[in-house]
Amino acid sequence: MRKLYLVIPASAVVITTLVVYKLNEPPRSTRRVSVTDQVSQPAPLFQLFDDQSQTVRLARYIGRHKLIVVFFDGRNGPDRSPLLLELKQAYPQLHKAGVIVLAVSEATPYANREGMGRLEERFPFPLLSDPDFRVHDQWQAFDSETGRTRPAIFVVDRSGRIRSRQDVGQSPVKLDDLQRVLLSVP
């Protein structure tokens, strides 16, 4: 009988601890991706406006497609981003492989639309706006010390897990490496 009196308070402490932990744990959509531990980590979900001011949700693609989520420096416009121009050229191959590309920058939908207007041919993938760097920060594609974006490419599998991260900076994209990762991703 005496042991029963100890079990009830101990159970209450365990349950309270678990509830407090779960309440203080950030929701999946606001978790930050750890640079050192990004492989096979769930991709933080987001909802952003595209260049036509339409809402694009990452969750819409999870479970259906392999994804490339590209963070690029949008200050000069998407038409002047070597990263996007290179992905635009590679897009037919990526699309054939069933890959969806989502490009994210700090530029507003209007600025992205203006940049697209300077091109002969539109980008075949959406240009998403993150002017407050919230999504950049979740994916660790923003340097808060300098206040600048970190251009990067993430490969996300169909289950919504990050399988690869390529920090590109000003260097060209390693498309062979990217395609090799995509082939290995379910």
- Angle 82-96/175-184 helices, nearest 10 degrees? 40
pLDDT tens sequence across 8-18: 777 777 677 66
The structural domains of the chain, ordered by start, are 28-184 (3.40.30.10)
Please give the Cα distance from 56 to 37 (Å, whole number).
27
With a cut of 60, say whether residue 36 has pLDDT above it: no
Q: 4 or 79, which is more confident?
A: 79
Q: Left if phi > 0, otherwise alpha if psi is -120 to 50, otherwise beta: which for 184?
A: alpha
pLDDT tens sequence across 123-181: 999 999 999 999 999 998 888 788 788 888 899 999 999 988 887 765 555 566 666 66
